[in-house]
Chain A
Amino acid sequence: MRITGVRAVATTVLAALALALGACADDGSDAGTGSGSGDAGNPTGTIKEGLKVAFLPKQVNNPYFDTSDNKGGKVAVEEFKGTYSQTGPSEASPSAQVSYINTLSQQQTDVIVVSANDKDAICGALTEAKSAGAKVVTYDSDTQPQCRDVFVNQATAEGIARSQVKLISDAVGPDGGEIAVLSATANATNQNAWIEMMKTELAKPEYAKLKLVATVYGDDQDEKSFQEAQGLLAKYPNLKGIISPTTVGVAAAARYLSGSSYKGRVQLTGLGTPNQMREYVKDGTVKAFALWNPADLGYLAAYAGGALASGIITGKQGETFTAGRLGQFTVGANGEIVLGDPFTFDASNIDQFDF
């Protein structure tokens, strides 16, 4: 691969020129896709056509997000005739998300729907994306409020915590005992909010016999969650119950318990998908667990994004908008929109669902 001296010099000069030209040009030529930026929303407006909506979940190979984005968000975006796409990292890392946010904003995406791996870490990139004209909707897991326009929450943190604590208490029985939490990543905003609420809930007198002895993190990775569940049982011989408020964690823990001598003796509950949990409910490893319909969450998030980009809402408390078949929703405090209450699955109804 011989390149003569002259050509070498020419190439270097060309390369330097190209980079210099690109680099020294000012950034002023970026026109944001203008959206109705009046001070108040326009509740009677309709969603514009042709909006580019991109979903950026915590990680892409997670069946929960597969359902919420491809079976919920995509359906909604097609309903209001936008362009749908899903992208994201394959491990739940905040720095990986930053890279994707930058790409999306360069591609002039109108709406970015993101589930944050960390409350603060992606704020810088999101703020830059907003100044380039994108509307930012967080769903499932929030960031700091100032970096996004609205947050679509699947249920209130109190509602989720209450349901989880009640489920484990019912499963473990009136004698109570030691319980532990198998969470996702240590910085996930939603996980930390729910765990805090669970601690508050556990302080109530009716749960006096339950004692939270540990919180471990499975990083939303199946293998790690499996090993953490194993570690919990090895370390706490008197453990009576595990709460795993993450679909990856509860599935892994269920699989471990089901193949071990602890099946039926150590109770498990959490937030899981019916398809993953069905066999463990049927074989008695898990008595009941909760979730909401992730597809509905993605659907609502897409509509919220569309409404934002079309000027129907601006994220202020009290504004209303219609989200397709789910009906009307009102923006709450801090730009939060709540989907509903968690739903409990058990042996009596698990066969009715397919997600």
Chain B
Amino acid sequence: MTHRLFLARELGIALALALLVAVTFAANPRFLSAQNVKDLLLGSTILAILAVGQAIVVITRNVDLSVGSILGLSAMATGVLFVGTPGLPVPVAVVAGVALGAVCGAVNGGLIAAARVPALVVTLGTLYVFRGLDHTWASGRQINAADMPRGFLRMGSATVLGVPVLALFAVAVLVAAGFVLRSYRSGRELYAIGSDPEAARLSGVPVGRRVFWAFVASGALAGLAGVLHAARYGTLDANAGLGQELNVVAAVVVGGVAIFGGSGSVYGAALGAVLLTTIGSALPVLGVNPFWQRAAVGALILAAIGLDRLLAVRLARRLQGARHGR
């Protein structure tokens, strides 16, 4: 039954996305030109990776507001590394960015799991702290695209059979995360923690450890997103990723991950990210005042949580009905 619910929700978003693309294509066929599709995929990649990480955290009934700051820190680290050691191979930079993100995630996870403090407050605090560290590190300067290695920047806009390399990163991350969450016991336990943390603890689930690693994963993915941001945009300053946390939470919520935890999937979150990015590109093409985009995102979030609540109530009633032998 939950499987059917999963299908319904994710399918719903996929359908909405398809509908949006179809309508916009009908209005302006250039919307699906090779360049535009490439731009769409590139634009949604970073948000999708962040959304996958955030989904892992939200499923456990927590939230990670510091992802934007971690992205900025990781992007700056990548830039500084390349400027400092010009011959650095690209994979090393990627690993370094991910590692930095993981460390930040560990700070979050440690405070939340060990000190039993609410994730909203802690990640709000680390949002400030990491951003401040980013600014201090950058000390006002900006890393220019001209200072970054050609190969790295080319990776930012290169394609393989028409699919951008960056999007392949996102797909790999998505498949890996989805697999772990579905097929590994530790992944399933995340859902248990989100549904009822006390019950999970009493059933022997190592709640603290799982939550810790969920935040490490979110941080590591934010770190990866930072490296890809550096590859895509080239020019970096201390404001990279500023304000992204709300877009990410929006993508996750729209993608069907219940803010209360316990349900949803990373596939839905990634689809949510793609949907939100596509709306941003589609609106100007449809001739809608692009300023409506933000409002549309807000309305979508409200609709999504309303829908989830409706589905949850229906499910609860159905379960009660089954229990009463109806």
Contact = CB atoms under 8 A, between A and B. Distances in A.
Whether A and B touch (Cβ < 8 Å) is answered with yes
Interface of A: 60-63, 66, 90-91, 221-223, 226-227, 230-231, 233-235, 237, 251-252, 255, 259-262, 275-276, 278-279
Interface string B28-72: 101100111001000100000000000000000000000000000
Contacts of B31: 234
Contact of A234 (B30, B142, B145, B234): B30
Interface stretch (B188-196, B207-215, B237-245, B262-270): B237-245
B107 interface: no
Nearest to B283: A231
A345 to B, nearest CB: 15
Given A66-B140, A231-B281, A234-B281, 7 more contacts: A222-B237, A233-B35, A234-B30, A252-B233, A259-B156, A261-B35, A276-B145
A90 B157 contact: no
Given A234-B30, A276-B144, A90 B281 contact: no
B238 A235 contact: no
A342 B175 CA distance: 53
Contacts of B233: 222-223, 226, 252, 255
Given A91-B239, A222-B237, A259-B156, A234 B140 contact: no
Interface in B193-239: 233-239
Contacts of A91: 239, 242
Contacts of B240: 223
A244 B36 CA distance: 22
A234 to B, nearest CB: 6
Nearest 5 Cβ contacts at the A-B interface: A259-B157, A61-B237, A222-B235, A261-B35, A235-B284
A239 B6 CA distance: 44
Classify the interface of chain B: helix, strand, loop or mixed: helix
Contact of A275 (B141, B146, B234): B146
B135 A90 contact: yes
Given A61-B141, A61-B237, A227 B30 contact: no
Classify the interface of chain A: helix, strand, loop or mixed: helix
Contacts, number: 72
Contacts of B281: 230-231, 234
Contact of A261 (B34, B144, B145, B234): B34
Nearest to A237: B30
A234 B36 contact: yes
Nearest to B36: A234
A223 B234 CA distance: 10
B290 interface: yes
B284 A234 contact: yes
A286 B31 CA distance: 25
B43 A231 contact: no
Contacts of B145: 251, 255, 276
B305 interface: no
Most chain A Cβ neighbours within 10 Å, of B234, B237, B238? B237
B205 to A, nearest CB: 34
B35 A61 contact: no
A226 B146 CA distance: 16
A252 B236 CA distance: 11
Interface string B154-167: 00110000000000
A262 B146 CA distance: 20
Nearest to A63: B142
Contact of B144 (A90, A221, A234, A275): A275
A233 B144 CA distance: 24
B17 interface: no
B280 to A, nearest CB: 8
Contacts of A237: 28, 30
B21 interface: no
Contacts of B80: none
Most chain A Cβ neighbours within 10 Å, of B43, B239, B240, B290? B239
B99 interface: no
A293 to B, nearest CB: 18
A112 to B, nearest CB: 19
Contact of A235 (B138, B156, B235, B285): B285
Contact of A63 (B144, B153, B234): B144
Contacts of B138: 61
